Structure 1
Amino acid sequence: MKLPMFVVDAFTSEAFRGNPAAVCLLENELDDDMRQKIAREMNHSETAFIQKLHPTDSFTQTEDLGLRTNRASPPLVPKPIFIEVPLGGKHSMRGCQEHKEIGENMNPTLTFVTLSGELKARQAEDGIIMDLPHCPTHHKDVKEVQDLIKLALDNVLVQDVHYSPDTKFLLVRIEDSYGRSFLENLEVNARDLTKIENTGKVQGLMLTVKGEGGGKTQGYDFYSRFFAPWLGVMEDPVTGSAHAVLGSYWSQQLGKKEIRAFQCSPRGGGMKISLQDSGRVDITGQTAFVLEGNLTI
């Protein structure tokens, strides 16, 4: 059996930047073990499986698709295990791009049924818009996580700490004076974070700093980096789900609903975040299509 496979870089218009992942189109559902084997074979941080919800559906006409996302076994795990990602927002972006590229589906919006509920993606002039759940944060007493912050940042000044119970992501805002270049060059020992925090309450660490905002040249409102060794990801290149949390926080801090963000990992990638009155978050990003082929199983 041959399965159409693609590699797409999300949140960028340039190849080899942004967040790379494999995308597989399925006529019929694969069992968990086979999907995990494919994810390990592709060897990307995540592999998205887009499938028909009903046998009579057509990739060229349907508006609703199934989306399951697997990642290769993380380096912290001594033997291969089944790992499925609950929130596949960035893959709805890739799926929207690839589905139109291959199937010529001209529906303005595609709905992806995932473990986290329905995620929608639609085409726009400046990229693809993902409709994600709003993930509010609340203030976190720094004393409760001071050891974790100390390991990640050493003596860097921290301005604010928030926590998202929906995602179990911890948001640490670095003092505004540090800026983008400091965050980009910061060395974080992500592997040891799991030794400090092993209660299961934290699944991801977001380090963020205020950006330059508007002005004569359009800048970014905030910058971030994302570490999730608890999920087997030392540092994620660009993370859509994290920005559903970051967007909520920075919208309140900046008093605006339209925000430009950049995740300054080594690959790097940018996006536009729009907070909707409905309680949803629109994240707009571009994609770069870099590989197309078939997987034989």
Structure 2
Amino acid sequence: MSKINIYQIDAFTDKVFHGNPAAVCVLPEWLGDEKMQQIAAENNLAETAFVLQTGPDYEIRWFTPTVEVDLCGHATMASAYVLFHFYNHLSDKINFKSRRSGLLTVEREGEALTLDFPADVYQRVEAPQALVSAIGRTPLETYRGKTDYMLLFRSEKEILDLTPDFRKMATVEARGVIVTAPGEDVDFVSRFFAPQSGIDEDPVTGSAHTTLIPFWSQKLNKKVMSARQVSERQGDLKCEFRGSRVKITGQAVAYLTGEIEV
């Protein structure tokens, strides 16, 4: 048995019990894939991030309770929070290296943490009938990015009123489904459903904004935008489109620190 430090951080919020909770495990060396998947399943959060220092930078991987994912925003923000607050990372910038998504950076300015992620490439498609049936409403437009479908609706109220059939949605081949509309007091709102990845609804999804930001930047003709993910826990994000990259800014707070035995 060995002990591993574990932290639970609420990301994209400035108070606990809001935003999106992520577990962060800082490792002395990589564990086997099966062991990391077991830890993520035991944590039973949308994502558990595993972080390993390699020189001045860090490698990072993310697991839901059922699968490893290509990219996770809130767990990357949570990992940066842990390194800044519990591991005395001296610089205000952290470089994370992901074997699936390349170089990812997080910069600190006061309490704000800014993710610098690659922008998604998406195209307009016909909505699969199973997806329309699962959502229970026909979208205005449907797009497909690298891993997710994105459905555009008319209003924030429509987004709030959605009650998807997650069993049907799980049959749609994708990591998950983004639904979005213009916001009432922010530029755009969204929700994110991912029963295919073991999470019916994710509270605040940084990676989904790699699709949302370029999309709404073009729609609104704006580079800097405000966004809200209108899940039950909610989360607010400041967004900036930088061509091939996007910047996503929020705050994070610590909920739990501890040790696990493996």
Per the normalisation by structure 2, the TM-score is: 0.93
**% of aligned pairs identical?**
33
Match of 2:64 in 1: 71
Match of 1:79 in 2: none
- Any unmatched runs of 5+ in structure 2? none
RMSD, aligned CA: 1.7
1:183 maps to a residue whose letter is: I
- What stretches of structure 1 move > 6 A for 4+ residues in a row? none
Match of 2:133 in 1: 150
8 Å contact kept, 1:220–1:260: yes
- For the pair 1:292 / 2:257, whether they are aligned, the reply is yes
8 Å contact kept, 2:204–2:231: yes
**Higher fraction of strand:** 2
The CA distance in 2 between the partners of 1:24 and 1:281, in whole Å, is 26
The CA distance in 2 between the partners of 1:230 and 1:150, in whole Å, is 16
1:152 maps to a residue whose letter is: I
8 Å contact kept, 1:136–1:249: no
8 Å contact kept, 1:137–1:248: no
- For the pair 1:6 / 2:7, whether they are aligned, the reply is yes
- How do residues 1-297 of structure 1 correspond to structure 2 at under 5 angstroms? 1-53=2-54, 57=55, 62=56, 64-73=57-66, 83-114=67-98, 115-125=100-110, 127-142=112-127, 145-154=128-137, 158-164=139-145, 166-167=146-147, 169-175=148-154, 179-195=155-171, 197=172, 200=173, 202-212=174-184, 219-277=185-243, 279-297=244-262
The CA distance in 2 between the partners of 1:45 and 1:226, in whole Å, is 11
8 Å contact kept, 2:130–2:169: no
8 Å contact kept, 1:67–1:88: no
- The 1:126/1:136 distance shift into structure 2, 3 A limit, reads farther
Per the normalisation by structure 1, the TM-score is: 0.82
Report the alpha carbon displacement of residue 68 of structure 1 after superposing the two structures with TM.
Answer: 1.3
1:255 maps to a residue whose letter is: N
Aligned length: 260
